[in-house]
Copies of this chain bind each other. A is one copy, B any other.
Amino acid sequence: MSTHNSELRVGMIGYAFMGAAHSQAWRTVNRVYDLPLHARMTAVCGRDEANVAAAAAKLGWQEHTTDWRSLVTRDDIDLIDVCTPGDSHAEIAIAALAAGKHVLCEKPLANTIDEARQMAAAAVRAEAAGVRSMCGFNYRRVPAVSLMRQLIADGRVGDIRHIRAVYLQDWITDPQFPLVWRLQKDKAGSGALGDIGAHIIDLTQFVTGQRITGVTALTETFVKERPLPQASSGLSAAAGDGNGPAATGLVTVDDAALFLARLDGGAIATYEATRFATGRKNGLRVEINGSKGSVAFDFERMNELEFFDATGPSTEQGFTTILVTEGDHPYLSAWWPPGHGIGYEHSFTHQARDLLEAIATGGPLNPSFTDALQVQLVLDAVSRSADHGSAWTDVEPILAEVAA
């Protein structure tokens, strides 16, 4: 796969919440980082002509289209950025890879294990031809998370005993919040589990280097029926039309998923993903306890990492709140002076940076589709456990053809 004059010409499919975040990243990445490859925002694709035209103008894409099939084969496109709901990921990504386009695909990789396996296999085949693929677990690129991983890799936490991960939101606690696509199994695959649970599964495995081997789980849908939306996009939507009671539909996904896990390095873990944690807005929190120390992170204070070093004098030990804004912290050399924090969208800019660099240099890249498939396999084990009375459920192995 070649790139054009040091440009990487991007075609993005989908332009809602994730599309806006990715657009900000593509616009910004080369303005901040010095990279061998420059992203060009060539075209954006969506189903509605008028809406996608408006999005292109607003978000800064040169062209727009409603035909993703032609987009993924265009000669002037080097990378396809998949920002659609999970039910279309497989078809689009596989077609793009087949056409020799690099692919960045939002998480979760797919709505089913079968699709995810096919995507991973396609990615492995494409990789042999120099065509790269990455799944968009953006939280890996929060500097504090990168630092967490580095401290663990450097042995500062020692042998890991405990993982404690929650992803707490509260945007659907109101029973009148409408039945948006994220609450429909056919579109979203699952509810809190796949949407936000996937992030904490990926993040904890990423930073510890351990993989979940088995789980026991329970899930719950607190509000089982909701008003149908007139229209919805992303995380917000207005219900009803103001004329009489709105029609309702069944919520077919989980509102919350809880599970315990064992990991292959000996750690034990608790996980919780919920959209009913009143007052917690984007409470992705991870704490890891090891034999030599601990690290803790809360996305609502994303510029901070807490680190406990158990090897110093006992009278001086405590959790150190590291303000992860120094020039020698991950990703931060290019941003602002110490103490001048960054925001949510920067994780996408960092993701774009790493992807551009990996494509330019042919160097390693993460998370691969296989990594993302493994997260799907964990999600699947969680679902199966929940469906079988919380029975202990082993995570299925990755098949040989898609192993890294």
A residues whose Cβ falls under 8 Å from a Cβ of B: 17, 21, 23-24, 27-28, 30-32, 34, 58-60, 147, 151, 161-162, 164, 166, 168-171, 173, 216-218, 220, 222, 234-236, 256, 258-260, 262, 266, 268-270, 272, 274, 276-283, 287, 289-294, 299-304, 307-310, 314-323, 325-329, 336-346, 389-392
- Taking CB atoms, residues of chain B closer than 8 Å to A392 are 389-391
* CB atoms of B268 and A270 under 8 A apart: no
Nearest CB on B from A95, distance (A): 29
- Bound together, the chains give a CA A341 to CA B278 distance in angstroms of 18
- Taking CB atoms, residues of chain B closer than 8 Å to A171 are 337-338
Can you report 8 A-B residue pairs in the complex whose CB atoms are below 8 A from each other? A34-B58, A217-B260, A270-B270, A278-B292, A280-B294, A281-B339, A318-B320, A389-B392
* CB atoms of B23 and A31 under 8 A apart: yes
* CB atoms of A326 and B318 under 8 A apart: no
Nearest CB on B from A21, distance (A): 7
* CB atoms of A162 and B277 under 8 A apart: yes
* CB atoms of B279 and A317 under 8 A apart: yes
- Taking CB atoms, residues of chain B closer than 8 Å to A279 are 289, 293-294, 308, 310, 317-319
Please tell me how many copies of the chain the complex holds.
4
Nearest CB on B from A278, distance (A): 5
Additional 7 contacts, C-beta under 8 A, given A151-B316, A270-B272, A274-B289: A24-B32, A28-B28, A31-B60, A164-B166, A236-B337, A279-B308, A318-B323
The 3 closest A-B pairs by CB, nearest first: A281-B339, A282-B339, A279-B308
Question: Closest residue to A269 on the B side, CB-wise?
Answer: B258
- Taking CB atoms, residues of chain B closer than 8 Å to A256 are 161-162, 268
* CB atoms of A390 and B216 under 8 A apart: yes
- Taking CB atoms, residues of chain B closer than 8 Å to A258 are 260, 268-270
* CB atoms of A339 and B294 under 8 A apart: no
| Given A321-B318, A341-B344: A278 touches B289 (CB 8 Å cut-off) | yes
* CB atoms of A342 and B343 under 8 A apart: yes
Nearest CB on B from A346, distance (A): 6
* CB atoms of A301 and B301 under 8 A apart: yes
- Bound together, the chains give a CA A389 to CA B389 distance in angstroms of 12
Nearest CB on B from A341, distance (A): 5
* CB atoms of B315 and A260 under 8 A apart: no
| Given A276-B162, A294-B279: A390 touches B315 (CB 8 Å cut-off) | no
Give the residue of B259, B276, B320 whose beta carbon is less than 8 angstroms from that of A289.
B276
- Taking CB atoms, residues of chain B closer than 8 Å to A390 are 216, 260, 390-392
